[in-house]
Amino acid sequence: MTNADAWSATPPTADLVLADGTVIEGHGLGAVGSAPGEVCFNTAITGYQEILTDPSYAGQIITFTFSHIGNIGANDEDIETVNLAGASGVRGAVLRADVTAPSNYRAARALDEWLKARGIIAIAGVDTRALTARIRESGMPNAVIAHAPDGRFDFDDLKEQASAWPGLEGMDLAKSVTTGQSFEWNETPWQWDEGYGHQTAPKYHLVVIDYGIKRNILRLLADQGCRVTVLPATATPDDVLSLKPDGVFLSNGPGDPAATGEYALPAIRAAIDSGVPVFGICLGHQLLGLALGGKTKKMHQGHHGTNHPVMDRTTDKVEITSMNHGFAVDADSLPDTVEETHVSLFDGSNCGLQVKGKPIFSVQYHPEASPGPRDSHYLFTRFINLIRERKGDQPLPERAA
């Protein structure tokens, strides 16, 4: 090797091209090609596989602020899409450090191989701290992430793609990640050295409307003694009420709630009018707010991470929560019949609501803790207790896992 060879720079094999024309270079991994999306940042230090398979991230390019992503590999147990092979809709991932060989007894494959199999483009070697600071100052930009092993890029085309992408505001993405048909769910949470269990003696029947639901939410609902029937996001009022549910659950999901609400609100309002308990999470929370007469709004940088403090005003306790949302319910738009129950201690934004005198409530964050802290597991018990009360059964104690 000559001195010239030793000092020659390795050409970048991936680029993140922002809508304003900024080009960020790095090393490519995962799928080859290009994809537009909205760039957000996530502050979690664990759970990258759950994050990358969370349908709530559809349409987004995720910047991980934690440096070491991929060092525990990937497996089939930590996937959050209901269809294990199904795409979550994540458009790409931005990493600080190059991915090392996996070092964990549960690892089944390396992250690069896993990303390729799932069609997710990634770029490593990026100053994610600087990119995160930019997002905090200027908001979440539209961009294109591109990976070409030969290092050849048409930057004019990539810049045009980035500027032409319309952004998440006004975009309905629930239809792209929801189930195509109804199905039953009975899997329960993972136990050390045993794996996942199954619900064999359900006492209550829940109808779940799937706007992009995560597997672990379904597991926790089944673990509460429920037979779970999952319906598509496009479910009609008759689809829901003909099943005679004991409760209705509104799932997490991606996109602009106002756009999804154009077809989703009739079924939600029918559930409200039926008198059965209703519980919503994330997009389900936002859609419930719309169904009750409130409004939603786009956030500057959103909330994405597993360290978000939230005040539960019904108990005066603070819980550390897992969050992933770029839209929020406007608390000032809620009618007098609705009470704000949870608020973010980061920025004061709405994180929960309940209807006064009715068994209807929702939260903005992800209490199933996949990934994240388990402070909020009590909410699933709170929901089931509303059903138990309606059935004349004794309530269960609320507690975190």
In the DSSP assignment, the letter for residue 56 is: G
Whether 303 sits among the annotated catalytic residues: the reply is no
The DSSP bridge partners found for residue 39 are 61
In the DSSP assignment, the letter for residue 333 is: G
The DSSP bridge partners found for residue 143 are 18, 37
307-316 b/e with 16+ CB inside 10 Å = b?
ebebbbeeee
Whether 68 sits among the annotated catalytic residues: the reply is no
Q: Within a 10 A sphere around the Cβ of 317, how many other Cβ atoms?
A: 12
The active-site residue, picked from 282, 308, 351, 377, is 282
Q: Which residues contact 138 (CB under 8 A, 6 or more apart)?
A: none
Instruction: Say if residues 351 and 310 touch (Cβ distance below 8 Å).
Output: yes
| Closest to 372 (Cα-Cα) out of 324, 311, 339, 325 | 324
DSSP string, 222-260: HHTTEEEEEEETT--HHHHHTT--SEEEE----B-HHHH
The active-site residue, picked from 38, 308, 368, 377, is 368
Give the burial class of 74: count Cβ atoms within 10 A of its Cβ; 0-12 exposed, 13-18 middle, 19 or more buried.
buried
The active-site residue, picked from 147, 308, 366, 377, is 366
CA distance 280 to 251: 6
Whether 366 sits among the annotated catalytic residues: the reply is yes
Active site residues: 282, 366, 368
